[in-house]
Structure 1
Amino acid sequence: MSGTSEKVYVEILKKIKTIIEEDNLQAGDKLPSERELTDRLHVGRSSVREALRSLELLGLIETRRGEGTFIKPATGHRLVEVLASFILHDKKAKQNLLETKSIILRDCIELAVKRIKDKDVEFLNVLLQQMHEEDDSGQLQKLSYQFKDAVIRLCDNHLLYRLWIELSGYGSSLHGKTFIPDPGDCSQIMEHLKNGDSMKVIQLMSREL
Protein backbone atom coordinates (compact mmCIF):
# COMPACT_ATOMS: atom_id res chain seq x y z
CA MET A 1 0.00 0.00 0.00
CA SER A 2 1.48 3.34 -1.06
CA GLY A 3 1.87 6.24 1.35
CA THR A 4 -1.02 8.14 -0.28
CA SER A 5 -3.31 5.10 -0.29
CA GLU A 6 -2.44 4.36 3.33
CA LYS A 7 -3.27 7.93 4.33
CA VAL A 8 -6.69 7.75 2.62
CA TYR A 9 -7.34 4.34 4.21
CA VAL A 10 -6.52 5.63 7.72
CA GLU A 11 -8.70 8.70 7.16
CA ILE A 12 -11.64 6.47 6.18
CA LEU A 13 -11.21 4.44 9.38
CA LYS A 14 -11.14 7.64 11.44
CA LYS A 15 -14.27 8.95 9.71
CA ILE A 16 -16.13 5.67 10.29
CA LYS A 17 -15.19 5.95 13.97
CA THR A 18 -16.54 9.52 13.99
CA ILE A 19 -19.82 8.38 12.42
CA ILE A 20 -20.18 5.69 15.10
CA GLU A 21 -19.69 8.35 17.80
CA GLU A 22 -21.94 10.96 16.16
CA ASP A 23 -24.76 8.44 15.63
CA ASN A 24 -24.24 7.20 19.22
CA LEU A 25 -23.99 3.60 17.99
CA GLN A 26 -23.39 0.93 20.61
CA ALA A 27 -22.43 -2.76 20.57
CA GLY A 28 -25.09 -4.68 18.65
CA ASP A 29 -26.20 -1.66 16.60
CA LYS A 30 -26.19 -1.76 12.81
CA LEU A 31 -23.70 0.35 10.89
CA PRO A 32 -24.85 2.48 7.94
CA SER A 33 -24.75 0.57 4.65
CA GLU A 34 -21.74 0.68 2.32
CA ARG A 35 -23.71 2.98 0.03
CA GLU A 36 -24.58 5.39 2.87
CA LEU A 37 -21.00 5.38 4.18
CA THR A 38 -19.73 6.09 0.65
CA ASP A 39 -22.07 9.07 0.37
CA ARG A 40 -21.29 10.42 3.84
CA LEU A 41 -17.53 9.98 3.52
CA HIS A 42 -17.28 11.12 -0.11
CA VAL A 43 -14.96 8.25 -1.03
CA GLY A 44 -15.09 5.25 -3.34
CA ARG A 45 -17.18 2.26 -2.37
CA SER A 46 -14.21 -0.09 -2.75
CA SER A 47 -12.26 1.98 -0.20
CA VAL A 48 -15.16 1.77 2.27
CA ARG A 49 -15.40 -1.99 1.71
CA GLU A 50 -11.67 -2.38 2.39
CA ALA A 51 -11.91 -0.35 5.62
CA LEU A 52 -14.90 -2.41 6.81
CA ARG A 53 -13.05 -5.63 5.99
CA SER A 54 -10.12 -4.55 8.17
CA LEU A 55 -12.46 -3.69 11.05
CA GLU A 56 -14.06 -7.12 10.72
CA LEU A 57 -10.65 -8.82 10.77
CA LEU A 58 -9.89 -6.95 13.99
CA GLY A 59 -13.09 -8.34 15.47
CA LEU A 60 -14.71 -4.92 15.89
CA ILE A 61 -17.64 -5.51 13.52
CA GLU A 62 -19.41 -8.49 11.98
CA THR A 63 -21.32 -8.89 8.73
CA ARG A 64 -24.54 -10.89 8.79
CA ARG A 65 -25.69 -12.11 5.39
CA GLY A 66 -28.88 -10.37 4.32
CA GLU A 67 -28.94 -8.16 7.42
CA GLY A 68 -25.95 -5.83 7.27
CA THR A 69 -22.90 -4.95 9.36
CA PHE A 70 -23.08 -4.73 13.15
CA ILE A 71 -20.78 -3.49 15.94
CA LYS A 72 -19.48 -6.37 18.03
CA PRO A 73 -19.40 -6.16 21.83
CA ALA A 74 -15.96 -5.18 23.15
CA THR A 75 -14.05 -8.19 24.47
CA GLY A 76 -13.08 -6.07 27.45
CA HIS A 77 -16.67 -6.10 28.67
CA ARG A 78 -16.75 -9.90 28.60
CA LEU A 79 -13.56 -9.90 30.66
CA VAL A 80 -15.14 -7.42 33.05
CA GLU A 81 -18.09 -9.73 33.66
CA VAL A 82 -15.81 -12.71 34.32
CA LEU A 83 -13.64 -10.72 36.73
CA ALA A 84 -16.71 -9.37 38.50
CA SER A 85 -17.95 -12.88 39.21
CA PHE A 86 -14.70 -13.60 41.07
CA ILE A 87 -14.67 -10.37 43.03
CA LEU A 88 -18.29 -10.19 44.22
CA HIS A 89 -17.35 -11.16 47.77
CA ASP A 90 -14.05 -9.28 47.97
CA LYS A 91 -14.69 -6.08 49.95
CA LYS A 92 -11.14 -4.78 49.49
CA ALA A 93 -11.37 -5.15 45.71
CA LYS A 94 -14.73 -3.37 45.71
CA GLN A 95 -13.22 -0.49 47.65
CA ASN A 96 -10.28 -0.32 45.24
CA LEU A 97 -12.74 -0.14 42.35
CA LEU A 98 -14.65 2.75 43.91
CA GLU A 99 -11.45 4.65 44.70
CA THR A 100 -10.15 4.22 41.15
CA LYS A 101 -13.48 5.28 39.62
CA SER A 102 -13.48 8.32 41.89
CA ILE A 103 -9.98 9.34 40.75
CA ILE A 104 -10.79 8.90 37.06
CA LEU A 105 -14.11 10.73 37.40
CA ARG A 106 -12.39 13.67 39.09
CA ASP A 107 -9.70 13.85 36.40
CA CYS A 108 -12.26 13.61 33.58
CA ILE A 109 -14.40 16.42 35.03
CA GLU A 110 -11.46 18.70 35.78
CA LEU A 111 -10.31 18.34 32.18
CA ALA A 112 -13.86 18.75 30.89
CA VAL A 113 -14.28 22.09 32.67
CA LYS A 114 -11.05 23.34 31.08
CA ARG A 115 -11.79 22.01 27.59
CA ILE A 116 -15.53 22.50 27.11
CA LYS A 117 -16.32 24.47 23.95
CA ASP A 118 -19.35 26.44 22.76
CA LYS A 119 -20.37 23.57 20.46
CA ASP A 120 -20.30 21.20 23.48
CA VAL A 121 -22.58 23.54 25.44
CA GLU A 122 -24.97 23.66 22.48
CA PHE A 123 -25.04 19.85 22.22
CA LEU A 124 -25.70 19.40 25.95
CA ASN A 125 -28.42 22.06 25.81
CA VAL A 126 -30.12 20.18 22.97
CA LEU A 127 -30.07 16.99 25.08
CA LEU A 128 -31.48 18.90 28.05
CA GLN A 129 -34.29 20.33 25.94
CA GLN A 130 -35.14 16.86 24.63
CA MET A 131 -35.15 15.49 28.18
CA HIS A 132 -37.56 18.17 29.42
CA GLU A 133 -39.91 17.48 26.50
CA GLU A 134 -39.74 13.67 26.69
CA ASP A 135 -42.65 11.75 28.29
CA ASP A 136 -41.50 8.19 27.60
CA SER A 137 -39.47 6.91 30.57
CA GLY A 138 -37.35 4.57 28.48
CA GLN A 139 -36.37 7.29 26.03
CA LEU A 140 -35.76 9.71 28.90
CA GLN A 141 -33.36 7.25 30.51
CA LYS A 142 -31.52 6.87 27.19
CA LEU A 143 -31.16 10.66 26.87
CA SER A 144 -29.95 10.92 30.48
CA TYR A 145 -27.30 8.27 29.90
CA GLN A 146 -26.25 10.05 26.70
CA PHE A 147 -25.91 13.31 28.67
CA LYS A 148 -23.73 11.68 31.34
CA ASP A 149 -21.57 10.02 28.69
CA ALA A 150 -21.20 13.33 26.81
CA VAL A 151 -19.99 15.07 29.98
CA ILE A 152 -17.29 12.43 30.53
CA ARG A 153 -16.26 12.68 26.85
CA LEU A 154 -15.59 16.40 27.33
CA CYS A 155 -12.29 15.44 28.97
CA ASP A 156 -11.05 14.97 25.39
CA ASN A 157 -8.73 12.19 26.57
CA HIS A 158 -9.60 8.90 24.89
CA LEU A 159 -7.61 6.74 27.31
CA LEU A 160 -9.25 8.26 30.39
CA TYR A 161 -12.67 7.91 28.74
CA ARG A 162 -12.08 4.24 27.91
CA LEU A 163 -10.87 3.55 31.47
CA TRP A 164 -14.08 5.12 32.75
CA ILE A 165 -16.23 3.01 30.43
CA GLU A 166 -14.47 -0.21 31.44
CA LEU A 167 -14.66 0.55 35.17
CA SER A 168 -18.30 1.59 34.86
CA GLY A 169 -19.03 -1.73 33.17
CA TYR A 170 -17.17 -3.46 35.99
CA GLY A 171 -19.23 -1.57 38.58
CA SER A 172 -22.49 -2.41 36.83
CA SER A 173 -21.54 -6.10 36.84
CA LEU A 174 -20.82 -5.91 40.57
CA HIS A 175 -23.82 -3.86 41.67
CA GLY A 176 -26.32 -4.59 38.90
CA LYS A 177 -27.14 -0.89 38.46
CA THR A 178 -25.71 2.42 37.34
CA PHE A 179 -26.51 6.04 38.15
CA ILE A 180 -28.74 7.73 35.56
CA PRO A 181 -29.09 11.49 36.23
CA ASP A 182 -32.60 12.96 36.03
CA PRO A 183 -33.30 16.22 34.12
CA GLY A 184 -32.81 18.24 37.31
CA ASP A 185 -29.38 16.70 37.90
CA CYS A 186 -28.40 17.35 34.28
CA SER A 187 -29.52 20.99 34.47
CA GLN A 188 -27.35 21.53 37.55
CA ILE A 189 -24.38 19.76 35.96
CA MET A 190 -24.80 21.97 32.89
CA GLU A 191 -24.76 25.17 34.95
CA HIS A 192 -21.71 24.14 36.96
CA LEU A 193 -19.86 23.17 33.77
CA LYS A 194 -20.54 26.59 32.25
CA ASN A 195 -19.43 28.26 35.49
CA GLY A 196 -16.22 26.23 35.57
CA ASP A 197 -17.10 24.72 38.96
CA SER A 198 -15.53 21.28 38.64
CA MET A 199 -16.02 20.40 42.32
CA LYS A 200 -19.82 20.74 42.12
CA VAL A 201 -19.94 18.73 38.90
CA ILE A 202 -17.82 16.02 40.56
CA GLN A 203 -20.13 16.03 43.59
CA LEU A 204 -23.20 15.49 41.41
CA MET A 205 -21.56 12.90 39.16
CA SER A 206 -20.15 11.04 42.19
CA ARG A 207 -23.61 9.59 42.79
CA GLU A 208 -22.36 7.09 40.20
CA LEU A 209 -19.98 5.68 42.84
Structure 2
Amino acid sequence: MTNTKVYIEIVKQLREMITMDGLKTGDKIPSERELSERLNFGRSSVREALRALELLGLIETRRGEGTFIRDFRGHQLVQLLSTFILQDEKAIRDVYETKNYIEMDCLRLAIQRMDNLTIDHMKEWVNKSDCVQDDEFFYQIIEMADNHLFLRLWGILKEYYYSLDFPHRDYKKENYLLILEALATKDESKTVAAYYELRNLSCFNDKN
Protein backbone atom coordinates (compact mmCIF):
# COMPACT_ATOMS: atom_id res chain seq x y z
CA MET A 1 0.00 0.00 0.00
CA THR A 2 1.38 3.46 -0.92
CA ASN A 3 2.02 6.13 1.72
CA THR A 4 -0.91 8.14 0.38
CA LYS A 5 -3.32 5.21 0.64
CA VAL A 6 -2.02 4.36 4.12
CA TYR A 7 -2.79 7.92 5.21
CA ILE A 8 -6.31 7.87 3.75
CA GLU A 9 -7.01 4.43 5.24
CA ILE A 10 -5.96 5.63 8.70
CA VAL A 11 -8.28 8.64 8.44
CA LYS A 12 -11.17 6.42 7.33
CA GLN A 13 -10.61 3.95 10.16
CA LEU A 14 -10.24 6.73 12.70
CA ARG A 15 -13.57 8.20 11.59
CA GLU A 16 -15.23 4.79 11.91
CA MET A 17 -13.68 4.32 15.36
CA ILE A 18 -14.96 7.72 16.54
CA THR A 19 -18.47 6.83 15.32
CA MET A 20 -18.43 3.32 16.87
CA ASP A 21 -17.12 4.63 20.21
CA GLY A 22 -19.75 7.38 20.26
CA LEU A 23 -17.15 10.11 20.67
CA LYS A 24 -18.25 13.72 20.28
CA THR A 25 -16.86 17.26 20.46
CA GLY A 26 -14.63 17.68 23.49
CA ASP A 27 -14.02 13.95 23.99
CA LYS A 28 -10.50 12.60 24.20
CA ILE A 29 -9.31 10.18 21.52
CA PRO A 30 -6.86 7.32 22.19
CA SER A 31 -3.14 8.06 22.29
CA GLU A 32 -0.88 7.72 19.25
CA ARG A 33 0.44 4.40 20.62
CA GLU A 34 -3.07 3.06 21.26
CA LEU A 35 -4.24 4.11 17.80
CA SER A 36 -1.24 2.43 16.22
CA GLU A 37 -2.06 -0.85 17.96
CA ARG A 38 -5.81 -0.62 17.42
CA LEU A 39 -5.65 0.37 13.74
CA ASN A 40 -2.62 -1.83 13.04
CA PHE A 41 -0.50 0.90 11.42
CA GLY A 42 2.95 2.23 12.25
CA ARG A 43 3.15 5.11 14.72
CA SER A 44 4.79 7.43 12.19
CA SER A 45 1.87 6.97 9.76
CA VAL A 46 -0.66 7.52 12.53
CA ARG A 47 1.24 10.63 13.62
CA GLU A 48 1.08 12.13 10.11
CA ALA A 49 -2.67 11.48 9.86
CA LEU A 50 -3.25 13.13 13.24
CA ARG A 51 -1.16 16.14 12.23
CA ALA A 52 -3.25 16.60 9.09
CA LEU A 53 -6.49 16.35 11.08
CA GLU A 54 -5.17 18.87 13.60
CA LEU A 55 -4.22 21.26 10.79
CA LEU A 56 -7.79 21.04 9.50
CA GLY A 57 -9.13 21.88 12.95
CA LEU A 58 -10.78 18.51 13.59
CA ILE A 59 -8.70 17.66 16.65
CA GLU A 60 -6.46 19.55 19.07
CA THR A 61 -3.57 18.44 21.24
CA ARG A 62 -3.38 19.83 24.76
CA ARG A 63 0.01 19.60 26.41
CA GLY A 64 0.00 17.03 29.18
CA GLU A 65 -3.65 16.08 28.59
CA GLY A 66 -3.91 14.36 25.21
CA THR A 67 -5.76 14.85 21.92
CA PHE A 68 -9.40 15.93 21.77
CA ILE A 69 -12.13 16.28 19.14
CA ARG A 70 -12.69 19.94 18.30
CA ASP A 71 -15.86 21.85 17.54
CA PHE A 72 -15.04 23.21 14.08
CA ARG A 73 -18.57 24.05 12.93
CA GLY A 74 -17.91 27.77 12.97
CA HIS A 75 -15.07 27.49 10.43
CA GLN A 76 -16.68 27.13 7.01
CA LEU A 77 -13.53 26.32 5.01
CA VAL A 78 -12.28 23.81 7.55
CA GLN A 79 -15.70 22.16 7.69
CA LEU A 80 -15.79 21.94 3.90
CA LEU A 81 -12.33 20.42 3.61
CA SER A 82 -12.87 18.01 6.47
CA THR A 83 -15.95 16.69 4.68
CA PHE A 84 -13.78 15.90 1.67
CA ILE A 85 -11.05 14.26 3.71
CA LEU A 86 -13.42 12.10 5.75
CA GLN A 87 -16.05 11.20 3.15
CA ASP A 88 -14.78 10.51 -0.34
CA GLU A 89 -17.88 9.00 -1.97
CA LYS A 90 -18.92 12.08 -3.97
CA ALA A 91 -15.97 14.41 -3.49
CA ILE A 92 -13.75 13.76 -6.53
CA ARG A 93 -14.87 16.76 -8.55
CA ASP A 94 -14.97 19.05 -5.51
CA VAL A 95 -11.46 18.07 -4.48
CA TYR A 96 -10.17 18.69 -8.01
CA GLU A 97 -11.85 22.11 -8.20
CA THR A 98 -10.61 23.17 -4.77
CA LYS A 99 -7.07 22.08 -5.62
CA ASN A 100 -7.31 24.18 -8.81
CA TYR A 101 -8.50 27.25 -6.92
CA ILE A 102 -5.63 26.95 -4.44
CA GLU A 103 -3.17 26.76 -7.34
CA MET A 104 -4.72 29.84 -8.96
CA ASP A 105 -4.67 31.82 -5.72
CA CYS A 106 -1.02 30.90 -5.24
CA LEU A 107 -0.23 32.07 -8.75
CA ARG A 108 -1.81 35.42 -7.85
CA LEU A 109 0.38 35.60 -4.74
CA ALA A 110 3.42 34.52 -6.73
CA ILE A 111 2.92 37.50 -9.06
CA GLN A 112 3.62 39.74 -6.08
CA ARG A 113 6.38 37.68 -4.47
CA MET A 114 8.43 35.98 -7.21
CA ASP A 115 11.39 37.84 -8.68
CA ASN A 116 12.60 37.47 -12.26
CA LEU A 117 15.66 35.46 -11.23
CA THR A 118 13.48 32.80 -9.61
CA ILE A 119 11.22 32.71 -12.66
CA ASP A 120 14.27 32.35 -14.93
CA HIS A 121 15.50 29.41 -12.84
CA MET A 122 12.11 27.73 -13.15
CA LYS A 123 12.10 28.30 -16.91
CA GLU A 124 15.53 26.67 -17.12
CA TRP A 125 14.30 23.69 -15.09
CA VAL A 126 11.21 23.28 -17.30
CA ASN A 127 13.26 23.51 -20.50
CA LYS A 128 15.74 20.89 -19.31
CA SER A 129 13.04 18.46 -18.15
CA ASP A 130 12.02 15.66 -20.48
CA CYS A 131 8.66 15.54 -18.73
CA VAL A 132 7.66 18.28 -16.29
CA GLN A 133 6.23 16.90 -13.05
CA ASP A 134 3.03 18.87 -12.42
CA ASP A 135 3.26 18.41 -8.66
CA GLU A 136 6.85 19.65 -8.56
CA PHE A 137 6.00 22.69 -10.68
CA PHE A 138 3.15 23.81 -8.42
CA TYR A 139 5.03 22.90 -5.27
CA GLN A 140 7.66 25.44 -6.32
CA ILE A 141 4.99 28.01 -7.20
CA ILE A 142 3.25 27.62 -3.84
CA GLU A 143 6.56 27.80 -1.99
CA MET A 144 7.30 31.07 -3.78
CA ALA A 145 3.82 32.31 -2.86
CA ASP A 146 5.08 31.93 0.72
CA ASN A 147 1.82 30.73 2.28
CA HIS A 148 2.43 27.71 4.49
CA LEU A 149 -1.26 26.94 5.03
CA PHE A 150 -1.95 26.90 1.29
CA LEU A 151 0.99 24.54 0.86
CA ARG A 152 -0.29 22.10 3.48
CA LEU A 153 -3.89 22.20 2.24
CA TRP A 154 -2.78 21.73 -1.35
CA GLY A 155 -0.61 18.77 -0.33
CA ILE A 156 -3.48 17.09 1.49
CA LEU A 157 -5.93 17.65 -1.37
CA LYS A 158 -3.38 16.46 -3.93
CA GLU A 159 -2.72 13.22 -2.05
CA TYR A 160 -6.42 12.64 -1.48
CA TYR A 161 -7.16 13.28 -5.17
CA TYR A 162 -4.53 10.77 -6.28
CA SER A 163 -5.72 8.20 -3.76
CA LEU A 164 -9.04 8.07 -5.60
CA ASP A 165 -7.24 6.68 -8.67
CA PHE A 166 -8.39 9.54 -10.88
CA PRO A 167 -7.06 9.14 -14.46
CA HIS A 168 -3.51 10.47 -14.80
CA ARG A 169 -3.10 13.47 -17.10
CA ASP A 170 0.05 14.63 -18.87
CA TYR A 171 0.55 18.33 -19.54
CA LYS A 172 2.65 20.01 -22.21
CA LYS A 173 5.93 21.70 -21.31
CA GLU A 174 4.87 24.73 -23.36
CA ASN A 175 1.91 25.37 -21.04
CA TYR A 176 4.17 25.61 -17.99
CA LEU A 177 6.39 28.05 -19.86
CA LEU A 178 3.34 30.17 -20.74
CA ILE A 179 2.48 30.40 -17.03
CA LEU A 180 6.03 31.48 -16.19
CA GLU A 181 6.06 34.05 -19.01
CA ALA A 182 2.79 35.48 -17.69
CA LEU A 183 4.18 35.58 -14.13
CA ALA A 184 7.20 37.52 -15.40
CA THR A 185 4.89 40.22 -16.82
CA LYS A 186 3.07 40.54 -13.46
CA ASP A 187 -0.20 40.29 -15.37
CA GLU A 188 -2.82 38.46 -13.31
CA SER A 189 -5.28 38.04 -16.18
CA LYS A 190 -2.64 36.47 -18.45
CA THR A 191 -1.39 34.24 -15.63
CA VAL A 192 -4.86 32.88 -14.82
CA ALA A 193 -5.61 32.45 -18.54
CA ALA A 194 -2.38 30.44 -18.94
CA TYR A 195 -3.40 28.27 -15.98
CA TYR A 196 -6.83 27.62 -17.53
CA GLU A 197 -5.14 26.63 -20.76
CA LEU A 198 -2.87 24.20 -18.89
CA ARG A 199 -5.83 22.54 -17.17
CA ASN A 200 -7.95 22.71 -20.32
CA LEU A 201 -10.67 24.68 -18.53
CA SER A 202 -13.17 26.84 -20.39
CA CYS A 203 -14.69 28.93 -17.62
CA PHE A 204 -12.12 31.71 -17.86
CA ASN A 205 -13.12 32.77 -21.35
CA ASP A 206 -16.81 32.47 -20.48
CA LYS A 207 -16.45 34.84 -17.54
CA ASN A 208 -14.27 37.47 -19.18
Q: TM-score scaled to structure 2, two decimals?
A: 0.48
Normalized per residue, the structure richer in helix is: 1
Q: TM-score scaled to structure 1, two decimals?
A: 0.47
